[in-house]
């Protein structure tokens, strides 16, 4: 099938490459000319494991092409996925400006049937708004003096991939959700995804939109729940890791997304929780549970900052090593990373930060000022009064900890992800603090 993807970011590019991989012809579109230039030249504007190889393969074979023109690409495709950003407004609403702009442009260039698919995460009712926008912007076409009515459908096909494992998630989804209002749209989407042989749930558009918000919000709730439990564990001498394990063996609960830490970040959970709270508010429901999820998440970062402040005593002119800046491992994404809040708070107290991240430094440089960025973890640890582990990159586990200890001025570690072996570090002479698992 000929498919256009509007928006070539973390989701758009992965969707494009994976759809090419399962046999479709894909045009990836973005209004960021620089991005398109990089992609056409064989480059890749983001870090996502496995994406570069597939992109190269299908770019070479011609199955995936790139364009900065919605007009040109939407004419070639019968199915158009919209994967532009839907950031938060100040009041928490999803900002749907990009969605409206793209919809208008698609409509104005329509010359035959099109299926517009919401891939971006959008609040319920967006499907109706897209439909209305298309109708308002369709060109007037006449044949023998009679106005031709151009047909189109709007569908919702939310994306559940995670950054860092995006290709794997897309190719092996737990489910594919298709929100449609016509048989034609359902048939097209079923056809597109057939090679994935995945569980498919067909609903109406509003239901699919809510499934996405409810899923992200539920996962955020799980994280805040275990983070709240971690606070109690810390106070009563319990170990939150074992609590999560013990809970997780219950199939009704599951172990996934019960990792206590410095709170969830990223471009999705914070914004999608906000948007769901706002959607609820507008529909007349006060979603108190989700508001608490958000509060617990903020409090978790503050509690970590307080712990560091308490154990370091005076922060002014102390050197703090930070390992990991990205909002999670295996990505270069810094959007709403907990590291930003934590680092800025410690800088405000006069601490000097030496940071290392395997992939996120270029993005971090745009967001954090006054930091010494280091090219390896040992350089970041050199002369430090403590080390904060903020992202669970696998390479940190394999560090030469005796070397780290000897490089530091004080061997103190704050493990914001409960990622390291507390006992082994204690044996090596480190003072170790985790989240809800005590210290050695």
Among 64, 102, 110, 387, binds ligand NAD (CB under 6 A): 102
Judged by beta carbon distances under 5 to 8 A according to partner kind, the member of ligand UGA, ligand NAD, none in contact with residue 410 is none
Q: Is 268 noted as a catalytic residue in this protein?
A: yes
Among 63, 75, 104, 162, binds ligand UGA (CB under 6 A): 162
Among 48, 93, 153, 159, binds ligand NAD (CB under 6 A): 159
Task: Mark residues 328-347: x for contact with ligand UGA by CB under 6 A, - for none.
Answer: x-------------------
Distance CA 271, CA 302 (A): 19
From 30-38, 125-133, 414-422, 427-435, give the range in contact with ligand NAD by CB under 6 A. Answer: 30-38
Q: Supply the minimum distance, in Å, between the C-beta of residue 317 and ligand NAD.
A: 38
Judged by beta carbon distances under 5 to 8 A according to partner kind, the member of ligand UGA, ligand NAD, none in contact with residue 31 is ligand NAD
Among 3, 12, 227, 325, binds ligand NAD (CB under 6 A): 12
Catalytic entry in 18, 28, 233, 268: 268
Instruction: With CB under 6 A as the rule, give the number of residues binding ligand NAD.
Output: 26
**Interactions with ligand UGA, residue window 358-417 (CB under 6 A):** none
Residue number, 48 or 385, with CB nearest to ligand UGA: 48
- Binding of ligand UGA by 323 (CB under 6 A): no
HEC per residue, the chain: CEEEEECCCHHHHHHHHHHHHCCCEEEEECCCHHHHHHHHCCCCCCCCCCHHHHHHHHHHCCCEEEECCHHHHHHHCCEEEECCCCCECCCCCECCHHHHHHHHHHHHCCCCCEEEEECCCCCCCHHHHHHHHHHHHCCCEEECCEEECCCEEEEECCCCCCCCCHHHHHHCCCCEEEECCCHHHHHHHHHHHHHHCCCEEEECHHHHHHHHHHHHHHHHHHHHHHHHHHHHHHHHCCCHHHHHHHHHCCCCCCCCCCCCCCCCCCCCHHHHHHHHHHHHHHCCCCCHHHHHHHHHHHHHHHHHHHHHHHHHCCCCCCEEEEECCCCCCCCCCCCCCHHHHHHHHHHHCCCEEEEECCCCHHHHHHHCCCEEECCCHHHHHCCCCEEEECCCCHHHHCCCHHHHHHHCCCCEEEECCCCCCHHHHHHCCCEEECCCCCEC
**Interactions with ligand NAD, residue window 160-189 (CB under 6 A):** 161, 163
- Binding of ligand UGA by 257 (CB under 6 A): yes
- Binding of ligand UGA by 9 (CB under 6 A): no
Q: Supply the minimum distance, in Å, between the C-beta of residue 273 and ligand NAD.
A: 12
- Binding of ligand UGA by 265 (CB under 6 A): yes
351: its two tokens = 């601490």
Distance CA 351, CA 119 (A): 42
Judged by beta carbon distances under 5 to 8 A according to partner kind, the member of ligand NAD, ligand UGA, none in contact with residue 259 is ligand UGA
From 57-65, 77-85, 383-391, 411-419, give the range in contact with ligand NAD by CB under 6 A. Answer: 77-85
- Binding of ligand NAD by 418 (CB under 6 A): no
Residue numbers annotated as active site: 268
Query: Could you list the residues that contact ligand UGA (CB under 6 A)?
Result: 121, 159-163, 216, 219, 223, 257-259, 261, 264-266, 268-269, 327-328
Query: Could you list the residues that contact ligand NAD (CB under 6 A)?
Result: 6-12, 29-32, 35, 83-86, 98, 101-102, 120-121, 159, 161, 163, 267-268
């Amino acid at each position: 099938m000929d498919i256009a993807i509007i928006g070539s970011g973390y989701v758009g590019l992965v969707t494009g490459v994976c759809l090419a991989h399962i046999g479709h012809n894909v045009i990836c579109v973005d209004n960021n000319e620089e991005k398109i230039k990089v992609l056409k030249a064989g480059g890749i504007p983001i870090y996502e494991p496995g994406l570069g190889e597939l992109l190269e393969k299908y770019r070479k074979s011609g199955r995936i092409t790139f364009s900065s023109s919605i007009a040109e690409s939407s004419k070639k495709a019968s199915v158009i996925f919209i994967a532009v950003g839907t950031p938060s407004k100040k009041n928490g609403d999803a900002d749907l400006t990009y969605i409206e702009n793209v919809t208008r442009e698609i409509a104005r260039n329509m010359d035959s049937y099109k299926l517009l698919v919401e891939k971006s995460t959008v609040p319920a009712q967006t499907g109706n708004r897209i439909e209305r926008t298309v109708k308002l912007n369709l060109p007037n076409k006449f044949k023998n003096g009679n106005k031709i009515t151009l047909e189109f459908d709007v569908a919702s096909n939310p994306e559940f991939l995670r950054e860092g494992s995006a290709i794997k998630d897309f190719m092996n989804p737990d489910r594919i959700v298709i929100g449609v209002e016509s048989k034609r749209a359902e048939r097209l989407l079923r056809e597109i995804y057939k090679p994935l042989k995945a569980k498919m749930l067909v609903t109406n558009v509003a239901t699919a939109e809510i499934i996405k918000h409810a899923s992200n919000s539920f996962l955020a709730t799980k994280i805040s729940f275990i983070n709240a439990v971690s606070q109690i564990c810390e106070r009563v001498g319990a170990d939150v890791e074992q609590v999560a394990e013990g809970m997780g063996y219950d199939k009704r609960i599951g172990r996934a997304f019960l990792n206590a830490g410095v709170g969830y970040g990223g471009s999705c959970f914070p914004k999608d929780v906000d948007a769901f709270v706002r959607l609820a508010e507008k529909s007349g429901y006060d979603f108190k549970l989700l508001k608490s999820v958000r509060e617990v998440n903020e409090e978790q970062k503050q509690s970590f900052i307080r712990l560091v402040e308490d154990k370091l005593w005076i922060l002014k002119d102390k050197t703090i090593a930070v390992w990991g800046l990205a909002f999670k491992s295996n990505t270069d994404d810094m959007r709403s990373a907990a590291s930003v809040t934590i680092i800025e708070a410690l800088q405000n107290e006069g601490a000097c930060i030496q940071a290392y991240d395997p992939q996120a430094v270029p993005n971090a440089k745009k967001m954090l000022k006054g930091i010494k960025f280091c090219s390896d973890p040992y350089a970041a640890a050199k002369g430090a009064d403590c080390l904060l582990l903020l992202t669970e990159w696998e390479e940190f586990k394999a560090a030469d900890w005796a070397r780290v200890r000897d490089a530091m001025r004080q061997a103190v570690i704050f493990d914001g992800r409960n990622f390291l072996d507390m006992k082994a570090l204690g044996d090596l002479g480190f003072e170790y603090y985790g989240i809800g698992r005590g210290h050695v």
